[in-house]
A and B are shown apart, each in its own frame.
Chain A
Amino acid sequence: MTQVTTRPPEVRPVSDRRTWRPVAGAVVVLAGALLPWASVVLPAGAYPDLATLQFFDAPYLVTGFRLHLVLLGLAAALLPRARRSVGIGVLIIALVHTGFLIGYGALSIGGPVALVGGALVVWSGRALPAPELKLPGRAVAWLALLAAFAALLWLVTQTLTAGGQSRATNSYGAAEFLAFCGFGLALIGSLSAYGILTWLAALTERHRLFAFTVMLACALMLPLTEAGTGYWMTVAATIGIYAATATGLNIVVGLAGLLDLGYVAFLGLGAFTAANLAHTLPFPLAALAGAAAAGVFGVVVGAPTLRVRGDYLAIVTLAFGEIFFRAAQNNIGGLTGGANSIPGIPQITMFGQDFNEPLGALPAGFLYYVVAVLMVAGAVAVLLNLKSSRMGRAWRAIKEDEDVARAMGVRTGRAKILAFLVGAMLAGLAGAVFAHKMGTVGYESFDFSESVTLLAAVVLGGMGTVPGAIVGASLLFVLPEKLREFSDYRLMLFGLALILIMRFRPQGLVSS
């Protein structure tokens, strides 16, 4: 028997003349990484990662962002598909550090060289369609998922701790953090260019329960990493609260397509309800009450908005958010404390353990982090399970074409109210945890910009996708924490980021 094999035609580079560019780019990037970046030792201390002339003392010690540049330079030489993302990563790292060093008046040769190298690499990179990878058997798939989530945990830890805690301890923190974001972006872009992200997503889809368990386990292991200090636990728990809220909003906006500009009011309703009940009810009951109160208002808002769509709906929800904000500001019914806010909300205490105290060797705030992780997991489970059900399909149908959904027998009014109800309840629950964790709840936490930020998180991350809202929420609530010196420009930077995303990746960072 003869075997006939058809071989695909040999793929040749489009033009051999162009091959010098990536090599040259990679060499220039490597040179840039190994050259000094800062010309003098600044008053605030030597620039991090031996970037000052001190690197001559130990040239073999390439650490931090310079190590990242070396890695990216090697990737640019060896991984042709990844060149574009790698080049963009190099550009971000170089731009950030160059910018900061110019600001300090201490720029040396390394930055400009790396910039040129990055530009060369981007110029040489071509967008190739990602290859399609075959799905392996169960054992390999599980191993791959384990490795992937472990890597994700590493990336999250590094991103969270990049640049240290605050400006007080590290005046170069913002630069280090932003540059690390560039490196992370290049990593993720490279994986995506080789089809690995799509492949992992398919694996996650196929081994859903396993993936979910591993992800949860990885999330709960964060306290055992570098990020396992009280400070980072608090930051991570806050992110978790907003991520759960954003997931709830994702049901309303991402699945059902109902643009809600006053969503943070539900977080506030949950928080104020729990705050008022905190001294009389144990936490689980107060949390349920918060969710229920928010849910009731979700229906109250949902019902009159059934007749308006799109922009008009957005305006009505905006008005609701504003009504809530003003009512809370004026201490309506004596329930919100007005300008004094509600202080002295007790910490969650269960089984004799105050949730803000360290548990054994684990850092303080660890338990709040666990609560936040479980809440996000619960919200994700709600989103996923509803998405693949009769109601989830009806929501998506309404988002795509409401009239036809009606013609197919979907009771659109009921479905929309249900979306508001579920979304509001998730936010209410998150609000209850928020109240206990913060110890104080005031109306300022629930103003319009918070609604916009939540909505931006959903849109930025990718509407209707699970990781989308979480990635978006994490980014939008980590960034202000990390970049305190830019806090005055926060909304402007969000706007800029949104415009860029809409221009270059309209489906969001994570597309379905």
Chain B
Amino acid sequence: MTLTAERVSMAFGGLVALDDVTLTVPDRRIVGLIGPNGAGKTTLFNCLTGLYAPTGGRVLLDGRPLAADPAEAMGNGVSRTFQNIRLFPGMSALDNVLVGRHTRIRQGLLSALLHGPGFRRSEAAAIERARTELAFVGLRPEGGTPARSLPYGDQRRLEIARALAGDPAVLMLDEPTAGMNGQETTAMRTLIGAIRDRGIAVVVIEHDTKFIFSLCDHVHVLVRGRMLADGPPGTVRADPRVIEAYLGTT
């Protein structure tokens, strides 16, 4: 499944956050998105996941336009994590992941009221799947701990498990290694590789350029709302405009 932002612009009143940005996420690839603070990376994420309706351009999923509705995006297989961890703090880890599976669970209100056999089957299957995702990201599959009591690194993993539970075709990670030490960053790199190997395309926003250039198949550089450059890591790293605007010469 290919997710495309086609000439997307996003203006908040007079402030133009995104200006004519095009980005393609090919199937089963890891795409990096880098750029200085305030370049519009998270705004682009919000457009791609339906939280914002772009003021110009379109978001396409396999060539079909995607409505600006998060539920629609999630249902069509675009899920995400957040830059500042945003879990449901009072809910257990397992319940967090189950909310991530919301769009995939089929339960009528009446069957939920009565807890009939159909409901119990669907609930058991959902819990089974949620536990699998918890184990996949390296958390305890019981998931009984409230999200707010988990250590920082585990909270980041839990967000990823929650996003994965929605059966995404494209997973968007907003600074997944922010605040992590070297060891945790390596583990995150392995995890993102494993997600790609499951057949899921991954878009990563990061400031850690070493991390991005060693991980991604394709890198986009966003500067002040415009797509400055894109291409394979080697090309982008050598691009003089990128060096001047973002990487620096040292």
Binding stretch for chain A, among B11-19, B56-64, B99-107, B181-189? B99-107
Most buried by B among A390, A392, A400: A390
Residues 370-396 (chain A) with a chain B CB within 8 angstroms: 382, 385-386, 388-394, 396
- When the two chains form their complex, are residues A409 and B119 in contact, meaning their CB atoms are under 8 A apart? no
Contacts of B87 in A (CB 8 A): 404
Q: Is A57 an interface residue (CB 8 A)?
A: no
A435 within 8 A of B: no
Specify the chain A residue showing the minimal Cβ separation from B46: A407
B:88-127 near A, CB below 8 Å: 88-91, 95, 98-100, 102-103, 105, 107, 109, 112-115, 119, 123, 126
Task: Of the listed stretches B67-75, B135-143, B214-222, name the one at the interface; the rest are far from the partner chain.
Answer: B67-75
Question: What 0/1 pattern do residues 395 to 406 of A give for CB contact below 8 A with B?
Answer: 011001101111
Contact B113 A386 (CB under 8 A): yes
| A408/B95 in contact, CB under 8 A | no
CB atoms of A405 and B86 under 8 A apart:
no
Tell me whether A394 and B99 are in contact (CB under 8 A).
yes
How many angstroms from the CA of A224 to the CA of B163 in the assembled complex? Answer: 55
A396 contacts B51, CB within 8 Å? no
Q: Is A186 an interface residue (CB 8 A)?
A: no
> Are B49's CB and A407's CB within 8 A?
yes
Q: Bound state CA distance, A466 and B239, in angstroms?
A: 62
Contact of B107 among A389, A407, A408 (CB under 8 A): A389
Question: Per a CB cutoff under 8 Å, which of A382, A397, A406, A409 touches B75?
Answer: A409
B35 at the interface (CB under 8 A from A): no
Q: Does A411 contact B (CB under 8 A)?
A: yes
Instruction: Please tell me if the beta carbons of A408 and B114 are within 8 angstroms of each other in the complex.
Output: no
Query: For residue B75, which residues in chain A have a CB less than 8 angstroms away from its CB?
Result: 409
Q: Contacting A407 at CB < 8 Å: which of B51, B91, B113, B115?
A: B51
Task: Flag whether B41 is at the interface (Cβ < 8 A).
Answer: no
* Inter-chain contact A405/B99, CB cutoff 8 Å: yes
Cα distance A386–B82 in the bound complex, in angstroms: 28
Cβ contact within 8 Å between A389 and B99: no
A393 contacts B51, C-beta separation under 8 Å: no
Asked if B157 lies at the interface with its beta carbon under 8 angstroms from chain A, I say no
**Do residues A400 and B88 form an inter-chain contact, with CB atoms below 8 A?**
yes
B131 CB-CB contact with A under 8 Å: no
Is A418's beta carbon under 8 Å from chain B? yes
Bound-state CA distance A223–B82 (Å) is 56
Q: How far is the CA of A391 from the CA of B115 in the complex (A)?
A: 13
Chain A 407-448 per-residue mask, 1 if CB under 8 angstroms from chain B, else 0: 111110000001000000000000000000000000000000
B80: Cβ under 8 A from any A Cβ: yes
Q: Total A-B residue pairs with C-beta atoms closer than 8 Å?
A: 84
Contact of B88 among A390, A397, A418 (CB under 8 A): A397
Q: How far is the CB of A258 from chain B (nearest CB, A)?
A: 16
A260 CB, min distance to chain B CBs, angstroms:
20
How many interface residues does A have (CB within 8 Å)?
A: 24
Q: Are B103 and A409 in contact (CB under 8 A)?
A: yes
Check A390 against B102 for contact (C-beta < 8 Å).
Answer: yes
Task: Report whether B82 and A404 are in contact in the complex, using a CB–CB cutoff of 8 Å.
Answer: yes
Give the shortest distance, in Å, between B239 (CB) and chain A (any CB).
33
B74→A391 contact, CB < 8 A: no
Question: CA–CA, A401 to B119, complex, Å?
Answer: 26
Of the candidates A391, A396, A406, the one whose C-beta lies within 8 Å of that of B112 is A391
Residues of B within 8 A of A405 (CB): 88, 99
Distance (Å) between the CB of B162 and the closest chain A CB?
A: 7
Tell me whether A400 and B90 are in contact in the complex, defined as CB-CB below 8 angstroms, given that A390-B102, A410-B99, A410-B102 are known contacts.
yes
With A385-B115, A389-B107, A396-B95 as contacts: A404 and B88 at CB distance below 8 Å: yes
Cα separation A397 to B71 with both chains bound (whole Å): 14
Q: Is the CB of B112 within 8 A of A408?
A: no
Judged by a CB distance under 8 angstroms, whether B40 is at the interface is no
- The smallest C-beta distance from B228 to any residue of chain A, in angstroms, reads 28
B residues within 8 A CB of A392?
112
* Residues of chain B with a CB closer than 8 A to A403's CB: 51, 86
Residues on the A chain within 8 Å of B103, using CB: 408-409
Could you tell me if B71 and A409 are in contact, using CB atoms closer than 8 angstroms? yes
Q: Are B89 and A400 in contact (CB under 8 A)?
A: yes
Contact status A396-B166, CB under 8 Å: no
A409 touches B74 (CB 8 A): yes
Q: Which of A392, A396, A400 has the most CB of B within 10 A?
A: A400
Q: Which residues of A contact B109 (CB under 8 A)?
A: 391, 418
Q: How far is the CA of A152 from the CA of B124 in the complex (A)?
A: 34
A393 to B107, CA, bound (A): 12
Determine if B119 and A389 form an interchain contact, defined as CB atoms under 8 angstroms apart. Answer: yes
Kindly provide the distance from the CB of B130 to the nearest chain A CB, expressed in whole angstroms.
Answer: 11
User: Which residues of chain B come closer than 8 Å to A409, judged between CB atoms?
Assistant: 70-71, 73-75, 79, 102-103, 166
Q: A394 to B115, Cβ gap below 8 A?
A: no
B119 / chain A contacts, CB cutoff of 8 Å: 389
Contact in complex: A408, B102 (CB < 8 Å): yes
A382 vs B110: C-alpha distance in the bound complex, in angstroms? Answer: 10
Neighbouring A residues of B105 by C-beta, 8 Å? 390
Which of B51, B79, B102: most chain A CB closer than 10 A?
A: B102
- Are B71 and A389 in touch, CB under 8 angstroms? no
Contacts of B95 in A (CB 8 A): 393, 396
- Determine the distance from Cα of A392 to Cα of B162 in the docked complex, in whole angstroms: 17
Residues of A within 8 A of B80 (CB): 407
> What is the bound-complex CA distance between A458 and B88, given in angstroms?
22
Would A407 and B112 count as touching, CB distance under 8 A? no
| Complexed CA–CA distance, A385 and B126 (Å) | 16
Query: B89 contacts A393, CB within 8 Å?
Result: no
* Binary per-residue interface labels of chain A (189-233) against chain B in the complex, 1 for a CB within 8 Å, 0 otherwise: 000000000000000000000000000000000000000000000
28 sample A-B contacts, Cβ–Cβ < 8 Å, listed by A number: A382-B113, A386-B112, A388-B123, A389-B115, A390-B102, A390-B107, A391-B109, A392-B112, A393-B98, A393-B102, A396-B90, A396-B95, A397-B88, A397-B102, A400-B90, A405-B99, A406-B51, A406-B70, A407-B51, A407-B70, A407-B74, A409-B73, A409-B75, A409-B103, A409-B166, A410-B71, A410-B102, A411-B71
Nearest 10 interchain pairs by C-beta: A409-B74, A389-B112, A409-B103, A400-B88, A397-B99, A409-B71, A390-B105, A390-B107, A407-B70, A404-B86
Sample of 6 further A-B pairs with CB below 8 A, known A390-B105, A410-B71: A385-B114, A389-B115, A396-B90, A397-B91, A405-B99, A408-B74
